[in-house]
Amino acid sequence: MSGTDTLDFTARFSRERPYNRPRGGDVERAGYSLQASGIAALEDQLESDRGRIINSAAVRRLQQKTQVFPLEHNAAVRSRLTHSLEVQQTGRFIVRTIFRKLGDRAEHYGLKGLERAMESLVEMACLMHDIGNPPFGHFGEAAISRWFEAHARALVPFSDAAAPEVLREPLLRELASFEGNAQAIRLLSRLQKLNLTYVQSAVVLKYTRVATEGRPAAGAAFSYLQKKPGYYYSEREFVEQMQRALGMEPGCRHPLAYIMEAADDISYCLADLEDGVDKGLMSFSVLADALKAAYAKARPEDADQARFRNFGDAKSFAQLVDEVLERAHREPINKDHEFFVSLRVKLIHPLVNHAAEAFIAHLGEVFQGRLNRALLEDGSPCHSVIETFKTVALEQVFSVPEVETLELQGYRIISGLLEHYRPLLELDLDAFDRLRSGTSKGLLIESRLFKRLPAKHVKAYESMRAEQPDDTSAELWECYCRCRLLQDMVSGMTDQFALDEFRTLSVMGPL
Ligand SMILES: Nc1nc(=O)c2ncn([C@H]3C[C@H](O)[C@@H](CO)O3)c2[nH]1
Ligand SMILES: O=P(O)(O)OP(=O)(O)OP(=O)(O)O
Ligand SMILES: [Mg+2]
């Protein structure tokens, strides 16, 4: 542990929220700090956060969103919700392991008594980490980004012929980079109006780049932390307030966000393969061979060696997989189930241990939020295990024709929906305002499309419009807000709802 003598984690906890927040800046803000109000008051506020999150529609919608398999009917195959529940459990396990390993040292870092608060913060961040994901997963994201990349520049306020505007290119860049993580920050801060404590929101912020900016160069200090957009321009003030409330420097993460990320990495790599076997895409013995081969390719130096403590009783990854196979073959009835239970039991402990050890080993950088990589991305055998699982999922699951067909359909549905709603974007500002005020003479199609927009999203559009920056024209800002409105609408849909809406508007379903 380097540079840890002056660490005081209490500085990263506060019970402050956006509404009811202290007005007078730092002096009043200090009253909301952990030092001033104590752990019990923080825990009360986190309990309130839990209620707000678990009761939110955004979390419920995860039950009908793609994790890997779009429009899946088999409820045993994971949706985003069941995946998120597993991430929640893994996150909690990492926190408990960190505290067990720290023991009495927790006090030295200002972590004494914070185990319960940390568990709650990490659990809820894990539950929320995918709330911004659109229907059809990565293909939904790509469809939204590509559609806006192709069409936003043609909208009059964004066209080159319009007056010069400093924000034109940055906003165009943002609209062409739809990101589930950035949409999650928008959902919790604006669309769902959850009014969570800043600290709870901060744990969800996975990448620290505003989407109007470009990706940093490969060797830059935040190259990993900013590899993807983490929030939109529309939420920059919220993020700045959050950073101030928690004493975080721009570009830095909250320390607990590293735990949420590790929990996601650990959970999905095992789960995707289990789902693949459940769906009959491969047998567990084919999977076992593929895992051993992929690990040996990634780490030829230790595939068969007997020198790793990481894998429990087993001496090497290959041996661990063989032990799991043997158990599965011995089970008389449900061999698949036994294979995955045994694999999970054997791997979750070393992976969680490793994440906890990395958190402690880099406590200084983690506290600053400057550790420029994921906890598990360190070239270790555990890192290779995760990579091995991802490689096999890519080869054996994501690239089978059945899955790829569904992905193409998802892509088409999202692009098609945006195409159906395009007339709303092409109206000029006055005409759109007439629509909103209900005087829609002559706007036959547009008025009908407008009525289909969720009222909550239209309200968010209105509040955003009032936040027009000084250096931007009303037209450009309004057009940006309207594009966000369409992205909010499409990304908020579940897979099934998107399909139904697409069919309805394409006159393909029953009339
Ligand atoms: N269907 C499908 N196709 C892909 O190309 C693909 N790439 C990743 N994933 C899944 C893996 C994790 O669960 C989750 C996070 O990466 O998304 C994919 N799913
Ligand atoms: O689960 P996703 O789709 O968010 O994918 P990820 O692998 O977690 O990637 P990201 O770093 O974008 O959250
Ligand atoms: Mg994610």
Please report the pLDDT score of residue 440 as a whole number.
80
Q: Whose CA is nearest to atom 10 of ligand 2?
A: 181
CA distances from 160 to 156, 169, 174, 217, 243 (A): 8, 10, 17, 28, 35
Helix (H, G, I), strand (E, B) or coil at 209: strand
- Of 72-76, 254-258, 312-316, 503-507, the one with minimum mean pLDDT is 312-316
* pLDDT for residue 378 is more than 60: yes
Q: Which of 399, 405, 409 is nearest to 503 (CA)?
A: 409
Please report the pLDDT score of residue 463 as a whole number.
95
229 lines ligand 2 (CB under 6 A): no
**Chain centroid to CA 224: how far?**
15
- Measured from the Cα of 264, ligand 2's closest atom is 8
Q: Find the domain containing 333 and state its range.
A: 258-401
Give how many domains the chain has, as a whole number: 1
Q: Would you say residue 326 lies in a domain?
A: yes
CA distances from 457 to 134, 379, 490 (A): 15, 44, 11
Give residue 47's pLDDT band: very low, low, confident or very high (50, 70, 90): very high
By the 8 A CB rule, do 457 and 487 touch? no
Report the run of H or E that residue 298 belongs to, with start and end: helix 284-298
pLDDT in tens, 337-364: 999 999 999 999 999 999 999 999 999 9
What are the DSSP calls for 411-459, one per residue?
A: HHHHHHHHHHHHHHHHS-HHHHHHHHTT--TT-HHHHHHHHTS-HHHHH
487 lines ligand 2 (CB under 6 A): no
Q: Would you say residue 288 lies in a domain?
A: yes
CA distances from 79 to 15, 399, 458 (A): 32, 19, 28
- For residue 319, give the CATH number of its domain: 1.10.3410.10
Q: Would you say residue 153 lies in a domain?
A: no
Backbone angles phi, psi at 276, to 5 degrees: -60, -45
Q: Would you say residue 19 lies in a domain?
A: no
Give residue 424's pLDDT band: very low, low, confident or very high (50, 70, 90): very high
pLDDT in tens, 286-311: 999 999 999 999 988 776 665 555 66
Please report the pLDDT score of residue 3 as a whole number.
56
Q: Would you say residue 125 lies in a domain?
A: no
pLDDT above 90 covers what percent of the chain?
87
137 lines ligand 2 (CB under 6 A): yes
Q: Best of 65, 126, 274, 398 to mutate for ligand 1, by most ligand atoms within 8 A of CB?
A: 398
Give residue 161's pLDDT band: very low, low, confident or very high (50, 70, 90): confident
Q: Would you say residue 262 lies in a domain?
A: yes
Residue at token pair 């195959």:
77
**Predicted ipTM of the assembly:** 0.90
- Ligand 1 site, CB within 6 A: 67-68, 137-138, 268, 272, 398, 403, 407
Please report the pLDDT score of residue 300 as a whole number.
81
Q: Would you say residue 133 lies in a domain?
A: no
Please report the pLDDT score of residue 338 as a whole number.
96
Q: Would you say residue 371 lies in a domain?
A: yes
Tell me how far apart the alpha carbons of residues 476 and 168 are, in angstroms, rounded to a whole number: 7
**Which residues are known to be catalytic?**
83, 129-130, 264, 448
- Measured from the Cα of 264, ligand 1's closest atom is 15
DSSP state of 210: E
Give residue 163's pLDDT band: very low, low, confident or very high (50, 70, 90): confident
